[in-house]
Structure 1
Amino acid sequence: MNMRFFLVRHGQTAANASGLFYGSTDVPLTPLGIEQSTRVGALLAEVSFSEAISSQLQRAQQTAELIVPVTGSDPRLNEMDFGRWEMRHFSHIAEEEPEAWQSWLDDWQNATPSGGEPFPHFAGRVKAVADELTQRQESGDMLIVAHQGVLSLLLAHWLKMPSDSLWHFPFRQDAYTMVENRGGFMLLRAFNDRSPFREEE
């Protein structure tokens, strides 16, 4: 058996339900978010996880604990810090900081949100996690609960795609994705799956 990584995006929060920019802001799950996470736990009930890690933000930790007891957390799995844009709607940012907003639209990989984290730094810390996990050659199943930006960058890196490919992977908040490590070759086995996980015969 190879190492398998089950990727789960945290459940809904009031901030993402309202369309707000938020990454480092520590917000809890909504009742729907709790319901979504509980459903994912039921989908993965047959998996015997050897490890379960999450970001250090409570929305990810809450989600993980509704699936399986968490064995660790990693700050590198935290979502990108949007600085002064945190908890603001894009329309307000565009109105109040038009130049900064336009710079972001024109070159989001190099334009940093006001007081926030540069994308290259964010992508670099996620890549470091991806590289470490690629080196894991033992057998076992690991649950990783994190955020849209983090999970999409993990997947892009594992599939040998550039960082700007993260937009191709919209992670649902009520599903799981599974990647199998075959001696350092990462194989995408399931994406946004909402069916109960079963071992192949």
Structure 2
Amino acid sequence: MKLYLVRHGKDTPNVRGGWSNEPLTDEGIHEVIELSKKINDIQFDYVLSSDLKRVAQTCELLVSHLNWSGDVSYESRLREVNNGKLAGMPNEIAEVTFPGLYWNELNWDERYPEGESPKEFFERISSFLDDIKALYDNNDALLMITHHGVIEVILSIVSNVEYSNKIKKYKIPTASLSVVDL
């Protein structure tokens, strides 16, 4: 099975992401349209997308420009890390309300307030990947539109590299494509 992993386009820069429901910026929309031109010749069997706004918007733009006529499966398990109370919070307020609270500062079992821990996030994505392997055929090509953190976990699993929230091991720009074989 081949996974075509697409990170969403740029979204609102001055708020905390995670489970925020921020839209794409004009630049993000342009990035996605440019990406669609680069992947126009790839034939996909299925399209899966995170259900958060910035990713759903990326998905809608891509499938429109790719003339995709099939269904899109919107999956909540493809969401970025659940950053709980910080989701969508303006950065300046987050700095005052939760000083020093960043993803790479959390311990493995430590949760965001009303959110999830790095361990829970990793297990959610790992479980979803196992379900994908069981549901789809080895010859299928899946377009999966999601978030940096999700792609980072998948690349770590596929590459057999230990995942950690402490450092980013992969450079995954907005509106970029990563291809992996499962």
Q: Does 1:113 pair with 2:108?
A: no
Written as runs of structure 1 = structure 2, the 5 A alignment for 1:14-163 is: 14=12, 17-18=13-14, 20-68=15-63, 69=68, 71-88=72-89, 92-98=93-99, 101=101, 106-135=105-134, 136-163=136-163
Secondary structure of 2:164's aligned partner? helix
Letter paired with 1:169: Y
> Is the contact made by 1:22 and 1:81 (CA closer than 8 Å) also made in structure 2?
no
CA distance in 2, matches of 1:105, 1:58: 24
Instruction: Check 1:149–1:85 CA distance in 2 against 1; reply closer, same or farther (3 A cut).
Output: same
Question: How many residue pairs align between the two structures?
Answer: 174
Q: TM-score, structure 1 length as denominator?
A: 0.76
How far 1:92 moved relative to its partner? 4.4
> Is the contact made by 1:130 and 1:157 (CA closer than 8 Å) also made in structure 2?
no
CA distance in 2, matches of 1:46, 1:130: 25
Q: Which has the higher contact order (CA 8 A, sep 6+)?
A: 2
The higher radius of gyration belongs to 1
Q: Which moved more, 1:141-150 or 1:113-122?
A: 113-122
Q: Does 1:8 pair with 2:6?
A: yes
State the partner residue of 1:188.
Answer: none
How far 1:110 moved relative to its partner? 2.5
Instruction: Check 1:47–1:106 CA distance in 2 against 1; reply closer, same or farther (3 A cut).
Output: closer
Q: TM-score, structure 2 length as denominator?
A: 0.83
Considering fraction of residues, name the structure with more strand. Answer: 1
Structure 2: 5+ residue runs without aligned partners? none
CA distance in 1, matches of 2:38, 2:121: 30
The CA deviation string for residues 125-174 of structure 1, in whole angstroms up to 9 with x for no partner, is 10012223345443132100000111111111111122207710131113
Structure 1: 5+ residue runs without aligned partners? 182-201
Instruction: Check 1:101–1:138 CA distance in 2 against 1; reply closer, same or farther (3 A cut).
Output: closer
CA distance in 2, matches of 1:133, 1:180: 12
Identity %: 22
How far 1:105 moved relative to its partner? 6.0
